[in-house]
Amino acid sequence: DQQVKQNSPSLSVQEGRISILNCDYTNSMFDYFLWYKKYPAEGPTFLISISSIKDKNEDGRFTVFLNKSAKHLSLHIVPSQPGDSAVYFCAATPPSSNTGKLIFGQGTTLQVKP
Amino acid sequence: KAGVTQTPRYLIKTRGQQVTLSCSPISGHRSVSWYQQTPGQGLQFLFEYFSETQRNKGNFPGRFSGRQFSNSRSEMNVSTLELGDSALYLCASSTSRGLGTDTQYFGPGTRLTVL
């Protein structure tokens, strides 16, 4: 049972344009969401997070939007750069949890073309 | 501040053997979580340790175990290795203030190959 889903395995965009990565979840009680970026043979690198009490969070070129009614979040990267090419994972924290458990989506491979 | 470190980075074992992987968290972090990444199953939570106690466990067989030491360093052990245990094993640490919103920071992982 996949509680966090990234339905697009891959995405290709041109350098300088916007990249939009999407993530859906099934449990309306999830209260904290994170995005990680991963290069091959490396561990995931934290990018940005959002609490369920917010609908938007920005950090430089990265913005995460949360639509609780649709159980959907998205990561916007503007402008996209070739160095952004990597696998992006969204993750959620189980509800009312103070334990270090993250539930990950399957990942989306982003390719930014020069 | 130094990041999360994992040793060894690469490991090759044969079926039936056992293996121990090590993780040193970021200084000051008390929570250590372990994940398994495989092409078919993605990133899956194994277990989490906080103050030397296992606080949460994923859906993995008992062959997978772990522990945490008083300095927050953690080890995970896999006994009676199977071919399907070949994976990237990732360790993550967080401050774990108990708010459920602590960001986890990952190490580079240990690539385990079972022959």
Mutate to test the interface with A, among B24, B29, B43, B105 (most CBs of A within 10 A): B43
Which B positions 31-60 lie with beta carbon below 8 A of chain A?
A: 31-33, 35, 42-45, 48, 50, 55-56, 58
How close does chain B come to A5, measured CA to CA in Å?
Answer: 11
- In one-letter notation, the amino acid at residue A106 is Q
In contact, B37 and A38? CB cutoff 8 Å: no
- The string of pLDDT tens digits covering residues B28-74 is 998 999 999 998 888 999 999 988 999 888 999 999 999 999 999 99
pLDDT class of A1 with cuts at 50, 70, 90 = low
- The string of pLDDT tens digits covering residues A78-90 is 999 999 999 999 9
Q: What pLDDT, on the 0 to 100 scale, is given for residue B103? A: 85
- Percent of chain B scoring above 70 in pLDDT: 94
d(CA A76, CA A80): 9
Nearest to B64 by CA among B49, B83, B81: B81
pLDDT class of B101 with cuts at 50, 70, 90 = low
Whether residue B92 lies within 8 A of chain A, CB to CB, comes out as yes
| Average pLDDT over chain B, rounded to an integer | 92
